[in-house]
Structure 1
Amino acid sequence: MKIKPLKDRVVVKFSSEELEKTPGGIYVPDVAKEKPQKGTVVEIGSEVKEVKVGDTVLFDKYAGSKIKVDDVEYLIIKEEEILGIVEK
């Protein structure tokens, strides 16, 4: 199944990063950290101007709507909710 966002919406696939290990040996999942979330843009709507497919973007933990398609978790988010683009 393919998702085509409308207008200024962007479909983002969550990045899968390894768990961070504390000096005490405890693994901290990303959801427990107070930092922006990161993902890769997989589809964009017709009115999106700043980002393109393939960009890695940062967004707030509570932004957009989470959906699951074929066991893959995505986020549908407005372009204005994107905090920034990660440049490589």
Structure 2
Amino acid sequence: MVRYEYRCPACGPWTVALPMGAADAHRTCPTCGDPAPRRWSAPLLNRMDPTVAGERSREEASRDVPGVVTSVPPAARRRTPSDPRQARLPRP
């Protein structure tokens, strides 16, 4: 289903969900019943989760201008075994 926008001169804009290609050039306003012309607008193709959109834009920016690292990241801390028998085992 696609959302089509119409604008009534008296009542203002409104949308209707119809199958693709089934929209008429004019449709009657649901409030006042006057004919309302269809408005042309951009399709909503870029609707995605804001987290995903932010990660994708960060990835695209890193292609041309990669982030500069100013220091070495800290080493990962090793877990100490909670079982005293494991403390005597050799470590890698």
Same fold (TM > 0.5): no
Which structure has the highest helix share of the two?
2
Q: For the pair shown, which has the larger CA radius of gyration, 1 or 2?
A: 2
Which structure has the highest strand share of the two?
1
Higher relative contact order (CA closer than 8 Å, sequence separation 6+): 1
What TM-score comes out, normalization by structure 2 length?
A: 0.19
